[in-house]
Structure 1
Amino acid sequence: MSIALPPDLPVPHPIQAVIFDWAGTLVDFGSLAPTQIFVDAFASFGIDVGLDQARGPMGLSKRDHIRTLLDHPGIRAQWRERFGQPPGEPDVDAIYRRFMPMQIDKVGDYSAPIPGAGETLAWLRRQGIRIGSCSGYPREVLDVLLPIAAGHGIAADHVVAGDELSAGGRPGPYMALANVLALGIGDVRACIKVDDTLPGIQEGRNAGMWCVGLALSGNETGLTLDELSALPAERVAALRQAAGQRLRAAGAHYVIDSVADLPPVVAKIAGQ
């Protein structure tokens, strides 16, 4: 895949940091690892959750994601029928305990970089821009993913996990702002949040940052690179438009296909 990068010129405005999500943004084209594990974890309790349903709350911390799925009327009805009562917090805990070892076991299988991610990170570093990151993944999962990703050249200057902050996770601004503090950034307006999920874009907006949504590489389209490449151009265009509308409605200032397309947008934001 040929990646066209802008020249290595000084950024004309002091963009200080770009803060990335992980699955569907830097690694795991299609954001498949968390989605499939949610389906499998609920199935282990005899509850049928479709892939599209599992994708709905993507971007939230995993415990909040489970809680949101259990609030879905159809899933809630299944739970009541199977267990004789509506789901509660102990059930959230039980599913989370089932989910975690499954996710830890499988996350490495979905750790391939998004094409162009390494080149984009290298370009940002040449501009003197810091690289932050945050994820809905708990720290135990990131502890498995991050060394594998680093072996592929995908690494951030700082990483915040979805279970690390007592203030909470997305769509609140807390993980993005934790990156600002850790990286010593002087102005949130000099930061760009890049994410493939709606809560991740809302997180960036709530933190006062520029936000760039990813239409094709992550959760909003949910296809592998091979699946996407096999589609006719008009179908890809329709998926891009639909995902873009959702991401813009969530607050994205710009929408691009994948992280490979980010450098020209950073240069454009820097010039405003």
Structure 2
Amino acid sequence: MNRTAATRTPVELVVLDMAGTTVADDGLVERAFAAALPEHTAEAAEHVRATMGESKISVFRHLTGGDEERAQEANRAFEGAYARLVDQGLCAPLPGAEDTLRRLRAEGRTTALTTGFARDTQDRILRALGWEDIADLTLCPADAGGRGRPHPDMVLTAALRAGVGSVAAVAVVGDTASDIRSGLRAGASVVAGVRTGAHDADTLLDAGATHVLDGVADLPALLADREG
């Protein structure tokens, strides 16, 4: 579904989220959060679901009431728990994701994979999938000054590194409201939500998504149609 009229600015850079957008989540994030905070409440679990896509340390700061030491400890436990799940083979690409990434590059577009995870976890996921070279750029919050989504920093860092002519030449794709807000704040002309992750179509549209797709495999056709 398309919420806004398309423009004709060619997309030079596509910034894609990982878990829930290009990589299957299947509850792994929530399981890792539960391992990191075994005493968590139902309210905390709801906050985790609502803030999917954000930098994980910022979520733990909220859950620990701003106690930085506890937040850092919980974040380390989360990253360790998620890493163990990845090492157990519970990490797989979403249907069509790999073909989409390769097609976008073949079309001459720069691709960037972004995440709210720490760099070590992001690299572990990429190795598990054999994706070390599948994208031109891979970014985590630390690569963009430390602020994750919904701030625009990772998108803007990708745009600077790619040398795009305008932020209007950027497309952002994600499965959460945080992904959408990050893309909008960066000025991307395409900010597409996908229905393969944490948030449903209504949530993505309420956040301001310009498009909602069934999955990332539909992205190349969207860009081709929009550019005529």
Question: How many Å apart are 1:18 and its aligned residue?
Answer: 0.8
Would you say 1:36 and 2:31 are equivalent positions?
A: yes
Q: Structure 1 162/110 Cα, relative in aligned 2: closer, same or farther at 3 Å?
A: farther
- Give the equivalent residue in structure 1 for 2:216: 259
Give identity over the alignment, percent. 32
Structure number, greater radius of gyration: 1
Secondary structure of the corresponding residue to residue 11 of structure 2: coil
**Deviation larger for 17-26 or 165-174:** 165-174
1:66 alignment partner in structure 2: 60
Give the gaps of 5 or more residues in structure 2.
1-7
TM-score, length of structure 1 as denominator length = 0.73
Shift of 1:138: 0.6
Q: 1:180 aligns with which of 152, 155, 159?
A: 159
135-144 or 95-104: bigger deviation: 95-104
Residues 21 and 173, structure 2, Cα contact 8 Å, conserved in 1: yes
Q: 1:167 to 1:54 in 2, by over 3 A?
A: closer
Per-residue deviation at 1:200? 0.9
Q: Which residue is 1:118 aligned to? A: 98
CA distance in 2, matches of 1:147, 1:90: 30
Q: Give the alignment's TM-score, normalised by structure 2.
A: 0.87
Quote the Cα distance in structure 2 between the aligned partners of 1:107 and 1:182: 29
- Contact kept, 8 Å, 2:140 with 2:148, in 1: the verdict is no
Aligned to 1:270: 227
1:142 to 99, 102, 122: 122
1:56 is the counterpart of 2:13? no
Give the 3-state SS of the residue equivalent to 2:130 in structure 1. helix
Shift of 1:207: 0.5
Question: Which whole-Å CA distance do the structure 2 matches of 1:88 and 1:29 have between them?
Answer: 28
Compared CA separation, residues 48 and 166, structure 1 to 2 (3 A): same
User: Per-residue CA shift, 1:108-134, capped at 9, x if unaligned?
Assistant: 433211001122122212211111121
Using the alignment, how far apart are the partners of 2:143 and 2:34 within structure 1? 24
Equivalent in the alignment of 1:198: 177
Moved more, 92-101 or 244-253: 92-101
Say whether the 8 Å CA contact 2:15–2:155 is kept in structure 1: yes
- Quote the offset at 1:51 in angstroms: 5.0
Alignment: residue pair count: 218
Deviation, 1:52, is 4.2
Conserved 8 A contact 1:247-1:255: yes
Return closer, same or farther for 1:164/1:124 CA change in 2, 3 Å cut-off. Answer: closer
Map 1:149-160 to 2 at 5 A: 149-150=129-130, 155-160=134-139
Aligned partners of 2:226, 2:31: CA distance in 1, in Å?
A: 35
Structure 1: segments with no counterpart, 5+ residues: 1-11, 72-86, 221-242
Maintained 8 Å contact 2:13/2:169: yes
Q: 1:224 aligns to what?
A: none
1:167–1:93 CA distance, 2 compared to 1 (3 A): closer
**Runs of 4+ that moved beyond 6 A:** none
